[in-house]
Chains A and B, each alone.
Chain A
Amino acid sequence: MAATESKRSSYFMITPMALVFTVFLVVPLLTIIVVSFWDYDEYRILPDFIFENYRYLLGSPVTWKIYLNTFKYAALTWLFTLLIGFTVAYFLAFHIRSLTWQIVLFMVCTIPFWTSNIIRMISWIPFLGRNGLLNQALMGMGLTDAPLEFLLFSDFAVILADVHLYTLFMVVPIFNSMMRIDRALIEAARDAGAGAWNTLRHVVIPLSKPGIAIGSIFVITVVMGDFITVRLMSGGQSASVGLQISNEIGLLQYPAAAASAVVLLLTVLLIVAALLRLVDIRKEL
């Protein structure tokens, strides 16, 4: 009796969340899939069942180029956020010993996130530009004679902004994993004569894997779908999958955008499925 009662309350408790996911996630995604088979002209979407959108998308060399470019952004951003994020998380987890300080330092890292991403992105421009702060500083110190052009409106700028925006999303889950490593294990490793490096390699890194996987999933999916960073930081000179979709939306080519979206979704799901093989998220939380 009590069991069915509690089961019923479980259903009651989960209904709001399930409902929101159904209406605002499942149905919209189904809509995208349906629309990706529709036709369109300059201003309308026309219900139909054609493969033209996919045929063009998959047949065009541009698509492959764009995907390659997007993978490049995702891979490099992932690498840098991982290196930086791991180091920062390690510092916070193992060298900061009071919870209050950990919270305070986290807050310090979070505050910039409350200023609009867009404003934070465009503020790199006066910093990195031809006559920007950095170039003036470099030339002032006599390190370079001419302004460095690659700093802005380049792949460098895109990845810099991505790393800037998303490293924190790597720090949090890795930190979370690290906090749950039993400190006795590290003591034991040290007592067994392992140096700091070996302890890191054989104890800390393996036990932080879940956090690394979660952080990676997050960073990679965000960068794969990003369009605004690429547009602003590359000076509109590079393309990414997200940017292509946003352009198609802008030009009212919804079915084409939907087809691109479906392909992107499948790509992201494949990547995530691969990453999930490394970790059972639900157990690791």
Chain B
Amino acid sequence: MAINREKRPLSFYFLAAFFALFVLFLYGPMLTIFILSFQGPRGGLTFPMNGFSVHWFGNLFEQQAVGDFGGSFLRSLKLGLIVMVVTVVVSFMAGLAFRRRFYGDSIVFYLAIASLIVPSILISLGIGLLFNIVQIQPNWFTSALGAHLTWTFPFGLLIMFAVFNRFDRSYEEAARDLGASPWQTIQYVVLPMVAPSLIGVAMFSFTLSYDEFARTLMTAGALNTLPLEIYGMTTNVTTPVLYALGTVTTGFSFVVIAVALGTLVILRRRGAK
């Protein structure tokens, strides 16, 4: 605690300034998007500004000349949520399994690492070719879901490793000594303790899936997800409506993150009681 009372060293201010610059760097382009999304009705994707209006925000919710933002957004949202739920459940299960050694555990572990490092476009190509050869129609909720899971599982598993490596087993033993069944132990002891990390896994996997482009490219089938739609849009949309979309999704992200943070705080308070 003594450290806390210490005066901030000079390096703190340097590093704080560096961090501020880093944040500025992350948000800089967002700022361009933000400003340009308020282009006038005749404005383009680049400077100079051509008037000032909220025209493109309204336009975002209208039918575009081509494509379908609404449908692909809903599809991406649904896919992201499915990926999220599946990743949380499966990673948690795998995390529990990995607490003991079992035959083949290192194979699964190295598969997870491989899944992390194989370039996304190869997953896309491989699944696309596979489905093509066995004559199965790719679809966002089959092949694309699988492609996304190969991306989110490794993260989920690694986070679970980090959690369980530092997990104090004496709580479980205490529960067992008190006569709890294995399932009860998980439900009432393990789950509440790892819940914050599971929320982390959930947010992480949703984010990864929601914005995944390369893995979806050849696996989405007939209907586009949002990143594919945006990519498709760039082939024929020349209006700031893309930027309006960027501004709206960022706003949406702030809301979701606020909700997630709120949940975390509430969970912690409950844990503290």
Residues of A within 8 A of B (CB): 6-7, 9-14, 16-18, 20-21, 23-29, 31-32, 35, 84, 87-88, 90-92, 95, 97, 103-105, 107-120, 122-127, 129, 131-133, 136, 164, 167-168, 176, 183, 196, 217-218, 221-222, 224-228, 242, 245-246, 249, 254, 257-258, 261, 264-265, 268-269, 272, 281-282, 285
Contact = CB atoms under 8 A, between A and B. Distances in A.
Interface string B169-187: 0000000000000100000
**Secondary structure class of chain A's binding surface, majority of residues:** helix
Nearest to A5: B182
B30 A123 contact: yes
A285 B213 contact: no
Interface class of chain B by DSSP: helix
B100 A25 contact: no
Contacts of A116: 211, 213, 226-227, 230, 245-246, 249
B29 A123 contact: yes
A26 B46 CA distance: 44
B130 A31 contact: yes
A249 B96 contact: no
A72 B91 CA distance: 36
B86 to A, nearest CB: 8
Contact of B246 (A6, A110, A119): A119
B264 interface: yes
B234 A118 contact: yes
Given A25-B111, A97-B4, A112-B26, A246 B93 contact: no
A28 B123 contact: yes
A104 to B, nearest CB: 8
A44 B96 CA distance: 46
Contacts of B70: none
Contacts of B89: 16
B167 to A, nearest CB: 12
A224 B161 CA distance: 27
B136 to A, nearest CB: 11
Interface residues of B, number: 95
A92 B109 CA distance: 30
Contact of B33 (A6, A115, A268): A115
B52 interface: no
A131 B47 contact: yes
B52 to A, nearest CB: 16
Contact of A20 (B12, B46, B150, B226): B150
A17 B153 contact: yes
Given A125-B45, A245-B125, A246-B217, 15 more contacts: A24-B123, A28-B125, A32-B126, A87-B18, A97-B4, A112-B30, A115-B253, A118-B234, A122-B45, A122-B234, A126-B32, A127-B29, A131-B46, A265-B118, A269-B117
B29 A264 contact: no
9 contacts: A21-B153, A31-B130, A115-B249, A118-B231, A120-B33, A126-B32, A218-B116, A249-B125, A264-B122
A224 B214 CA distance: 13
Contact of B250 (A16, A111, A164, A224): A111
Interface in B95-115: 96-98, 100, 102, 104-105, 108-109, 111-115
Contacts of B213: 116-118, 228
A77 to B, nearest CB: 14
